[in-house]
Structure 1
Amino acid sequence: MVIQQKSMLQRLKLLALAGVAAVALNACASPRGAGGGTATPDFSSMSNEAKHAAVQDLGAKYQQKPNKQTAIYFAAALRAIGQTGQAVSVLEQARLQHKNDEEIALAYAKALAADGKFNRALNILEATIRPERPNWNALSVKGAIYDQMGQNARARELYNQALVIAPNQPSLYANLGLSYAMSNQLDQAEAALRRAVSMPQSTRKVRLNLALVVGLQGRFDEARSLYARELPAEDVEANMAYIRALLTQQNKWDRIKGSS
């Protein structure tokens, strides 16, 4: 089934950067012993009010004591409200104090990518990822950047490398699923997202992305049911309207109606 790729790519690129897979670029827990370190809350899943409150709180703490953890938290919260340039600035200052710190470098790469500075972010990651001791989170962030650049197959190679190191990380399957969706491989996208959803650490955002991918395949009742588990009724219908509008723009709506 041939569809117009550009519209889906543009929308799912935004989801991958600010949504789940968003997961790779958002602040997420990185367990020690799995190639991670400082665990940070997932600000992206918070309400707008909570995000702005976190920015205010962390900004005050950063002004009082701009240590490594506060810098990483503050930058992640800034990215969650779209203040990507400010997040970059915070981490540029942190790098001056922690020049060889892997966690600061990774947070800096995330901020650069969120700010659209993909090549700079990749350069940071190339200098950070050690072939003899690869960091699954760094590989995932690198993959998310390649997805943003439209190099989906290359991104999936990195996610699969990361899964060898951290096979129980739902964020990796979530990113893999969105990567498949961005190249219109919706069956594979659904399989990866369902794997992510089945894991204990899975987030609400991953479940919403699964609903989106199910809806894009024309299974509207199932998509509505998945949304209804996570959202109030008015938001469910808004999401369903979004899916129908996206399918209409891709010239798929008539074909789905005709086959149902």
Structure 2
Amino acid sequence: MESQIEQQKSARWTVSKEARSTLKSALRAVLVASVASIVLSACAINQSKPSATDYSNLSQMDAQSNLAQLAARFEANRRDKYAAINFAAALRSAGQAKQAVSVLEITLAYFKDDPDVDIAYAKALTADGRFEQALNVINNTIRPENPNWNALSVKGAILDQMGQNAQARALYNQAMVLAPNEASLEANLGLSYAMTSELERAEIHLKRALAKSGATSRIRQNLALVIGLQGRFDEARAIYSAEL
């Protein structure tokens, strides 16, 4: 009888360990998607600069419509850097990172040493898993005398993917000094802790992110995931259900 109990305990532990491994892998993918994207809304095609609206939660039909319109705008004028940046962002959101890289490589020919284009290019490379190349691009973009919080955030995301979590967190904290109200920075910090299984700290930062103006549905979903990893499934389900 005792042997059966021990076997059952062992089986539960094995399942839990496998589940955590799977979810940890998912968190890595989530971090890339969360940090490496500028998300767009249906109205973004009429704007002259990148949008910060949550594009990732559009319906498939709306997302495809936006992508087609952004593609047309880019093809109409390849010298419009914001058209290229927005189009690349939409491609990333659609899981087409390689195409996003290609679009921005065309744009780089027209905009040498342009911080906006370079940051977008680093994001696309990150989304495509080309971390070393992305790191080289973003390092050339960051100016110590005038740091850009977005560039610092992207570098942090790259370092997280490379397992350099402490350095990544230092960059997120530096970026938060420059942009204290930016929800994505707090969320990135939370996801960084989640990647190293520091779930309580991850939860704290994701809750802070969710309380900030501009918090996205993705942040709420990530919070639900982290809470679920701690075994609080009913609470996680309630948080996630708020998105449905």
Q: TM-score, normalised by structure 2?
A: 0.85
Q: Residue deviations 1:26-50, cap 9 Å, x none?
A: 1059xxxxxxx94324322323322
In structure 2, the CA distance between the partners of 1:9 and 1:152, relative to structure 1 (3 Å rule), is farther
Q: Higher relative CO (CA 8 A, sep ≥ 6), structure 1 or 2?
A: 1
Partner of 2:59: 47
Q: Which region of structure 1 is more displaced relative to structure 2, 116-125 or 45-54?
A: 45-54
Partner of 2:145: 132
User: Which structure has the larger Rg?
Assistant: 2
In the alignment, the residues of structure 1 paired with residue 182 and residue 241 of structure 2 have an alpha-carbon distance, to the nearest angstrom, of 25
> In the alignment, which of 82, 86, 101 is matched to residue 69 of structure 1?
82
In the alignment, the residues of structure 2 paired with residue 140 and residue 78 of structure 1 have an alpha-carbon distance, to the nearest angstrom, of 20
In the alignment, the residues of structure 2 paired with residue 161 and residue 72 of structure 1 have an alpha-carbon distance, to the nearest angstrom, of 25
Q: 1:48·1:81 contact (CA, 8 Å) conserved in 2?
A: no
In the alignment, the residues of structure 2 paired with residue 155 and residue 122 of structure 1 have an alpha-carbon distance, to the nearest angstrom, of 12
In the alignment, the residues of structure 1 paired with residue 49 and residue 155 of structure 2 have an alpha-carbon distance, to the nearest angstrom, of 18
In structure 2, the CA distance between the partners of 1:159 and 1:207, relative to structure 1 (3 Å rule), is same
In structure 2, the CA distance between the partners of 1:146 and 1:47, relative to structure 1 (3 Å rule), is farther
Name stretches of at least 5 consecutive residues in structure 2 with no aligned partner: 1-12, 41-47
In the alignment, the residues of structure 2 paired with residue 26 and residue 171 of structure 1 have an alpha-carbon distance, to the nearest angstrom, of 11
Q: Does 1:16 align with 2:31?
A: yes
In the alignment, the residues of structure 1 paired with residue 140 and residue 122 of structure 2 have an alpha-carbon distance, to the nearest angstrom, of 11
Secondary structure of 2:56's partner?
Answer: helix
- Pairwise CA distance, 1:6: 4.5
Identity %: 51
In structure 2, the CA distance between the partners of 1:6 and 1:154, relative to structure 1 (3 Å rule), is farther
Partner of 2:6: none
> Which aligned pairs between 1:1-260 and structure 2 lie closer than 5 A?
6-18=21-33, 22=34, 24-28=35-39, 38-40=49-51, 41-66=53-78, 67-231=80-244
In the alignment, the residues of structure 1 paired with residue 167 and residue 103 of structure 2 have an alpha-carbon distance, to the nearest angstrom, of 30
Q: State how many pairs are aligned.
A: 220
Q: TM-score, normalised by structure 1?
A: 0.80
Query: What amino acid sits opposite 1:76 in the alignment?
Result: A
Secondary structure of 2:143's partner?
Answer: coil
Q: Which runs of 4+ in 1 moved over 4 A?
A: 1-6
Q: 1:170·1:197 contact (CA, 8 Å) conserved in 2?
A: yes
Secondary structure of 1:188's partner?
Answer: helix
